[in-house]
Amino acid sequence: MSITLDLTRSTASPKSAPVNLAGLTRTGLRDALVAGGICDAGKARMRATQIWRWIHHHGLTDFDQMSNIDKATRAALSDTFTLARPEIVERQVSKDGTRKYLIRTAPGIEVEAVYIPDVGRAGALCVSSQVGCTLNCTFCHTGTQKLVRNLTAAEIVAQVQVCRDDLEEWPSPSEDRRLSNIVFMGMGEPLYNLDGVADAIDIISDPEGIALSRRRMTVSTSGVVPQLDALGTRTQAMLAISLHATNDALRDVLVPLNKKYNLEALMAGIRAYPGLSNARRVTFEYVMLKGVNDSPAEARELVKLIDGIPAKVNLIPFNPWPGTDYECSDWKTIEVFAAILNKAGFASPIRTPRGRDILAACGQLKSESEKLRASAVRKAEQAAAEAA
Ligand code: SAH
Ligand code: SF4
């Protein structure tokens, strides 16, 4: 007599959440369609292009509206995949029109994105690349929030999709866009998440989708020198460098990463950035801190430091946050500083603080997602997957 044991129950792995197609790269989308049994490899390219246009050009979140796809395939897509947007936990609008979104992309993972009208060609979205940051720059609010984790490309792209939903900017307009520029200046250090950032830029710039030019995307780094070349080669994005000081002693304090990659190494890395030219200048960001880095002598040092580099300098009035000891320089001091740079031939706009009333300005972002122990995040994600 033989006994057959039914082991299916005890060995079955927990049902995993459906894959969200809205944040996959083109290749990822093709692979997912084949793996999900929607089509065979031979048809995958054509199917992926159809679906891609619905997702990234039209902004659809419902397979049923994909009118050039047959009913049976649409049903199979809805059974296997999702296109759902992440939850918007909070949306705030500042007196000046700036909009801040707090987005929950996964259990315990909350990120902020800020839309700023009348910046760049029409309006810029400031996106986050990590939850929190490891780098602890002393003047930055995000730096006081421990790193939770890198965001996936999907989580970065979702910030753009959420903002375009809110601006009602689907399908992708070819001109007169309200969201015309993307700046990686939200929470986190983009060059510690280059894979996620580069994939997100590929998705956002795809001509059959959102189709934002790579030259309208700026990646800001505190100076992760070994990744600069890869950033330029992989993304062709515009480069912004958070400089903030003209000598190592002060930069070591303001941007502690300077102890690892000092000014000499940083400047050499910038000079070698792929594609740097007068038409594609690097932006130096310089936060104006009262009595710390704002003297005329430092402005002259700055001119010497960046001599010969196709560059402009953004002077950022310091945005205060609860608990900081720094103060913003006086307006007159900032103007004197700017005049020295201008005289030396460097455009040096003073960045008007935007959205200060809703803590949406540079360096003020800090979500409540504190560093749950990694195991706790994993557990929460697993529990959510099981519940799905
Ligand atoms: N981690 C990256 C990108 C995010 S920070 C970087 O450091 O470049 C975006 C910009 O805001 C940086 O130039 C940063 O130095 C600046 N910033 C941070 N805190 C600020 C504050 N409190 N006031 C004004 N600018 C700030
Ligand atoms: Fe991190 Fe940039 Fe803030 Fe420094 S300024 S702590 S690198 S987010």
Model confidence pLDDT, tens digit, residues 136-145 = 899 998 767 7
Instruction: Choose the residue to mutate in 151, 222, 286 for probing ligand 2, maximizing ligand atoms within 8 Å of C-beta.
Output: 222
Binning pLDDT at 50, 70 and 90, where does residue 365 land? low
What are the C-alpha distances in Å from 218 to residues 79, 125, 180, 320?
A: 38, 10, 12, 24
Ligand 2 atom 8 nearest Cα: 188
Do you know the residue count of the chain?
Answer: 388
What is the per-residue pLDDT for 118? 83
Least confident of 217-221, 293-297, 323-327: 323-327
Mean pLDDT of the chain: 88
Residue 238, classified by CB atoms within 10 Å of its CB into exposed (0-12), middle (13-18) or buried (19+), is: buried
Query: Residue 367: pLDDT above 60?
Result: no
**Predicted confidence band of residue 86 (pLDDT cuts 50, 70, 90):** very high
Contact 336, 294 (CB under 8 A): no
Q: Which atom of ligand 2 is nearest to the CA of 363?
A: 3
What average pLDDT does the segment 167-185 reach? 93
Name the residue of 140, 191, 365 to mutate for ligand 1: max ligand atoms within 8 A of Cβ: 140
Residue pair 250/263 in contact (Cβ under 8 Å)? The answer is no
The answer to which of 11-20, 157-166, 244-253, 332-341 has the lowest mean pLDDT is 11-20
Q: What pLDDT, on the 0 to 100 scale, is given for residue 174? A: 82
Contact residues of ligand 1, CB 6 A cut-off: 139-141, 185, 189, 220-222, 242, 285, 287, 316, 318-319, 362-363
Instruction: Say yes or no to pLDDT of 82 above 50.
Output: yes
Q: Which of 87, 126, 362, 370 is catalytic?
A: 362
Q: Tell me: cis bond preceding 226? Omega within 30 of 0 counts.
A: no
Residue of 282, 278, 262 lying closest to 270 (CA atoms)? 282
135 ligand 2 Cβ < 6 A: yes
Is any ligand 2 atom within 6 A of the Cβ of residue 189?
yes
Pick among 3.90.420.10, 2.102.10.10, 3.40.50.10470, 1.10.150.530: CATH of 19-82: 1.10.150.530
Q: Among candidates 116, 257, 105, which has minimal Cα distance to 196?
A: 105
Give the ligand whose atoms come closest to the C-alpha of residue 135.
2
Would you call 112 a catalytic residue per the annotation? yes
Look up residue 192 and give its two tokens: 């510690």
Distance 354 CA to ligand 1 centre (A): 14
Question: How much distance in Å is there from the Cα of 2 to the middle of ligand 2?
Answer: 66
The reported pLDDT for the residue numbered 143 is 64
Residue 148 pLDDT greater than 90, yes or no = no
Domain boundaries, the chain: 19-82, 87-373
Tell me which residue has its CA closest to atom 4 in ligand 2.
137
Assess whether pLDDT exceeds 90 at residue 320: no
Cα of 157 vs centre of ligand 1, distance in Å, is: 21
Same fold, 19-82 and 87-373: no
Q: What CATH number has the domain spanning 87-373? A: 3.20.20.70
* Res. 257 pLDDT band, cuts 50 70 90: very high
Could you tell me the distance, in angstroms and rounded to a whole number, from the CA of residue 14 to the centre of ligand 2? 38
Average pLDDT for 92-121 = 90
Atom 6, ligand 2: residue with shortest CA distance: 143
- Contact 283/239 with Cβ under 8 angstroms? yes
